[in-house]
Chains A and B, each alone.
Chain A
Amino acid sequence: MRMSSKTVRRFMQDDIWNIGRNESWFSGMAEKGFHLRSIGRTFALFEKGEPTKTNYRIDVMNTAPGPEQLELYEEFGWKLVCHIKELYIFSSPENSACPELHTDPAEQSFTLETVDRKLKYQVIWISFLMMIFLGMMAALFLLNQTPTLSLMEVTGLQIPILLFVELYVSYSVIRNYVSLRRLKRTLSEGRPMNHKESWRLPRLINGTISVFFILTAFLTIYLPVAEIIQRENYSLPEKFSNLPVIRLIEIEKRPDLKRQTGPFSGGVDFLNSVITGWSPMAPVQYEINEH
C-alpha cells in the first residue's frame, strides 16, 4: 500500500551559517511532526509525520563523503537526511544517546576554513559592488537639477528603493559571514557548538526583516505597473473643465486666440491633452498640453 505524505515548505529565515540555531530549529520542527527532507537556499522542505524528538547535526564537508564514511556515521547513529553544497545534515533519535559526530571543537573549526575564505571574498566583492552602486546612485541624484521633483515621479523614486534593497543584500551577506566567524572562533577556542540554541526570536526578527525587504523589492516592479494602470489620457475640453488647475484662457481672457489642433490618436488631440499620473509621493498628477 502506498502511503500518502504531506510536505510543507518553510522559509529559511535564518542565516545558513548559524549552524547550531538551524539544527535546533529542525529539532523543533520534528517535535511538531515535521521532519526535514531537503533544504535549499530559500526554503526547507519538511514531511508531515509523527512528532518525534530528533537531534540534527550539520557537518561541513569540502569533498563529498564516500560510502565508508556514511556507513561509519550510520554505525554511530547518524543518518544522512540531505545536503546543500558542502553542508551535510544528519539526524538521530534523541533517546538513542549516540556519540557526537565531532568530539574535538578545535579540529571542527578547521572544517570551516574553506567556506570562511569563500565568504570573505563574497563580502569583499559585495562591499566593492555596493560602493560602486552607491556612487552611481549619488551621481544620478546629485547631477539631477531637480532631485526633489524626480522623487515625486516613479522612475526617480525607484532609485532610493533599489538602494535600500541593495543595502539589504549586502547586510544579509555580511550578517551570514559574521555568524560563520563567530562559530569558527568559538570552536577554535575549544568550546563546543551549542546544538540547542534558541531559534524562535532570531528567526522572527530575521524573517520580519527579510519579508520587509522582499516587499520593498516587489515595489520596484509594482510601482511602474501601477503607474501605467493609473495613467489616463484624454483631450482637453476647449472652455470648461473641472480640472483643479488655472488655465491660460482664464488668465489672459483673449477671445481672438484660436486653438490649434494636432494629430489625433485614439480620439485624443495630442496638442491639447490631459495626462493624469500617479506616484506614491504625488498621488494626483496632471500633465496638460494646450496650443
Chain B
Amino acid sequence: MLAKRIIPCLDVKHGRVVKGTNFSSLKDVSDPVELAAFYSDSGADELVFYDIVASAENRSLFCDVLREVARNVFIPLTVGGGINTLDDFDTVLKCGADKVSVNSGAIKNPDLIGNAAKRYGNQCVVLSMDVKLCDEGYRVYSLGGRVKTDIDAIEWAKFGEESGAGELVINSIDTDGVKNGFDLPLLEKIVNAVNIPVIASGGAGSVEHFKELFKRVNVDAGLGASVFHYKDFTIGQLKRELKSSGVEVRI
C-alpha cells in the first residue's frame, strides 16, 4: 500500500539552511549536506530544497550544494525557489534534482507549468502555492508570500493539474511557522478539487498535527521545516507514532 510521505523542507541561503517564522526573522540552522543525510537516515521520504535568494550568483552556490546532496542521498529531491524559465528547470535538474517546484514563476507565466511538463514529464513539475484566507476567499500569494494576487487558490490548483503539474504543495500562510497544526479546511478544499497528489505544508508543530492531518484529509504527504531542524521530534519517532495510530508509513 502506498505510504504517506514525510518531507523535510530545507530553505537554503548562501549555502546554509535557514527557516523563519511567518517567512521572516531567519535563523541559520545547519549545513544542507549534513542535514540531508541525517534526514534520509532517520526516514525522510523525500527532501525539498528552496533557494530562498535565487540570485544568479547564489544559484551556482545552491547548485553546488544540491550536487553534493545528490551524490550522497538516494531519495527524491525537489528544488524550488526562483524557477521562472525552462532554463531554470534545466539547471537544477542537471545538478541532481528529480522534481522542480514552481510558484511565483508560474503566476507570472502560467504556460511554464505546461511547457515544463511537456519537456520533462508531469512527474517533474510540482506546483507550489502560498495561500491565505482573505475576505473574498482563499487567495494565492506570490514572491514568497509577500504579494497578494487575485487568483483563487482552488481554481489555481485545478489549473495546475490541467496544465500538467504532477503534484501540488499547499503552503498555508496563515499556519506557516506558527506550529499550531496544518490548515485542514484549506487542504480539504484542495484535495476535493484535484486528483493529483497533494503535499501539506505550514503549521506542523507536533506529532499530533501529522496524525490529525493524515486521518482527516486525504493528502499524500506532510512537509515540515523548523519542527525537524530543531529536533522537536525526529522523523523516526514521528513515523513510529503514525504507524501505531494506523497511518501507513515507510519505516
Do A and B originate from a single complex? no
Contacts from B to A (Cβ < 8 Å):
none
Contacts from A to B (Cβ < 8 Å):
none
